Structure 1
């Protein structure tokens, strides 16, 4: 009778006499990316006016190390220890008190300068690997619960307690562009907050991508079109007017009020068209139609269109009384994009759902835990978390292909960043020797080579 193995590991002897071994070796890819993109130097410049004399650690470098640690999975300052104990790989890394002082020194002026540092690095990364398609931006807000009373943490609309940050992501490159930490009582449809983030995101683009998107620019000057997407919280006149003033297209969810319901009653069955899947096939049980001529839209920008989708509800879906009587779940959105193919426009708006993935990844890169009691310090943490998200996205743009180019942070960490290696000292410098049996060792080795070729 064959005996089955009932152990989860092999018997072994554990010692502490290993030499020149480094953990989290793959994380050095992110710190090297920060250096080569100019982010580290730009962060140093952004923090140069913080008013504190630093004898050993540059505050910009401290925050860059913190961003690398967050990308590696850190969610508090104490987690910097994983980098600090590997100084041969990452250089001198600040202690917890020094990192605290760097965050404490990040005030309003520094919070304005940090996005400029990120923008300078983004210009270098995009020059090496330009976005393949037109830019698509997704706006959305998310709740972050707080387990203790922190400054400006307030009750939320879901009866929780904490914050309600708003962010914008570039769906084309999978990177965060801007974010705003807000109290929990902040409105989901606050037009001023949306407009502020829109302008921050525009100013964070490389100069050639900004052409034609300044207020007063003629639409013909636009060389890189931008589509702005949002859910119904973005359907405010102030936000939509700002989008149009920036010569951008919009595709924004629209609330179904009585006027929309009255218009829907006038739609004939033959007016509905089959919705599509991303591969071009017919989406089963879903149809789209246009309501532009059936509802007054004069208060919205010229060329605004209203498009509706109906679909058979999935099991467990919560329907309104109107949906219950119709037997379908209805959603609609407004857009200023021309064209008769409304099924393609609806498919494009449906892609806004990917913002939920971006938010989940943002929370996995520091947002889930705002570790400070001060609102300004937590704003600094959010700014650094955006750098962490950008470093991960840029590394995927420049260094990986296939599965790793689209993987989420947790997958990148387990397969690439959290890799042990042997650090060998030679006369010509250091050599990082990866375990040849590790399935993704070649991917990591190739990633370093690609980075150095893309940004010498």
Structure 2
């Protein structure tokens, strides 16, 4: 915990909270300390208010002095309104930019970067919980929408998050989230090609317009409709380019393992039911996979008797094969969602919606902070899951001793990842080097 929170302090977490978050009343007193305490508890593995007591366990009270009680932290978050949650979003954005400047967590962001937008249902149980409803998956809960920033060289980070009602449509509020996420990415140094990727739930004119207005490209899975079907049918047989996947993937709808496919592209104008000024013309990149189970084609028309088609609507300037391969990497957002649900979002701890929204934003801060710590540790940790990082760099038993009014941590002599921890500790806890004259 010591090097992680030292990194948070150097990145300005406390100063950012003091500058941007204004929670009134006694619940808002010492806001920077309370926010830092919640983030520290999440980094340590807390997924509920009660779990935040880890900050007062054993010798933690000597390292993190005056850690508030879990009930105090819960009272603080329940005092948040929607405006305070948006203030916390501003803190998360600026902290990510500070981490990108101080650590190699986004070393490749200056060349090519992607923002992946997706949402997930977080199951909730019990009664009298604000915003809880049955969503598109049939699960009762709340809906979290994420924007994930990644590069070819770096593990993904969370550039934005919104907690919403459980029965909200997937793309609701996505244009605003995209605009904020692109601004955050630019603040982190994404000056090169930046592409917004999303699945077919986000195939909407407003989403495309938001990406373009923010100065980013878009790559969105297209819904199959009569216009898409007509465009696919117009592709000549000789225009298809055969590709082979490095590893076979299982396609349930195709009926088996798939390792071969063909790709073609055609110019396409989308959203033609809207006024002409709102039409969008770009590339339609189509991947087709031969059906292994002909019975799955029943009712889909003659075009789909032999092949299954996947269409991507994009204005990416990349070559066709690269654009299609990079769009499939959109699945990286699912790994981030799984990582969050295995950590701070295993539970949403309150019946108050805004408290859960603030908890979700703080969970993204803890996620990015943990990733930045792993990036400092070196390449062996850079792409590890949060649970692995926590096990190797954070959950380390130590004996706290005092000498000459200074604290000393006696760490295990045979800890397998001692070199990585030492690297992080020296980078975050030693005084900054004086600037050369």
Q: Does 1:364 align with 2:364?
A: no
Match of 1:120 among 80, 94, 115: 94
After TM superposition, the structure 1 = structure 2 runs for residues 240-259 of structure 1, keeping only pairs within 5 Å, are 240-259=208-227
Please report how far the alpha carbon of residue 254 of structure 1 lies from its aligned counterpart in structure 2 after TM superposition: 0.5
The equivalent of 1:46 in structure 2 is 20
Cα distance, 1:408 vs. partner?
0.4
Are residues 295 and 75 of structure 1, via their aligned partners in 2, closer, same or farther at CA, if it must alter by over 3 Å?
closer
**SS of 2:19 mapped into structure 1:** helix
Alignment of 1:262-301 (within 5 A): 262-275=230-243, 277=245, 284-292=259-267
The DSSP-based 3-state class of the residue aligned with 1:164 is strand
Q: Which has the higher strand share?
A: 2
Quote the residue 2:148 is aligned against.
169
Q: 1:333 aligns with which of 306, 309, 312?
A: 312
| Gap change, CA 1:323 and 1:381, over 3 Å in 2 | farther
Structure 2 Cα separation of the partners of residues 106 and 318 of structure 1: 50
> Contact conserved, 1:156 with 1:184, CA < 8 A, in 2?
yes
Over 3 Å counting, the alpha-carbon distance change for 1:262 and 1:289 in structure 2 is same
Report the equivalent of 1:219.
Answer: none
Distance 1:112 1:327, change over 3 A: same
Aligned partner (choices 120, 131, 135) of residue 107 of structure 2 = 131
Alignment correspondent of 1:5: none
1:201 aligns with 2:178: no
Matched position secondary structure for 2:342: helix
Match for residue 252 of structure 2? none
Give the C-alpha shift of residue 136 in structure 1: 0.9
Q: 1:156 is matched with which residue: 114, 135, 143?
A: 135
Can you give the 5+ residue segments of structure 1 that lack an aligned partner in the other structure? Answer: 1-26, 211-222
Partner residue of 2:403 out of 412, 418, 426? 426
Q: Output the CA distance in 2 between the equivalents of 1:294 and 1:196.
A: 24
- C-alpha displacement at 1:112, in angstroms? 2.2
1:195·1:239 contact (CA, 8 Å) conserved in 2? yes
Aligned in 2, Cα 1:32/1:199: closer, same or farther, shift over 3 Å?
same
Instruction: Indicate the SS of the match to 2:284.
Output: strand
CA distance in 1, matches of 2:420, 2:32: 30
SS in 2 for 1:311: strand
Q: Which moved more, 1:180-189 or 1:108-117?
A: 108-117
Structure 2-normalised TM-score? 0.85
For the 8 Å contact 1:278–1:347, the answer to whether it is kept is no
Aligned residue in 2 for 1:33: 7
| Worse overlay, 96-105 or 324-333 | 324-333
Kindly report the root-mean-square deviation, in angstroms, between the aligned alpha carbons of the 2 structures: 2.9
Change (3 A) 1:353 1:316: farther
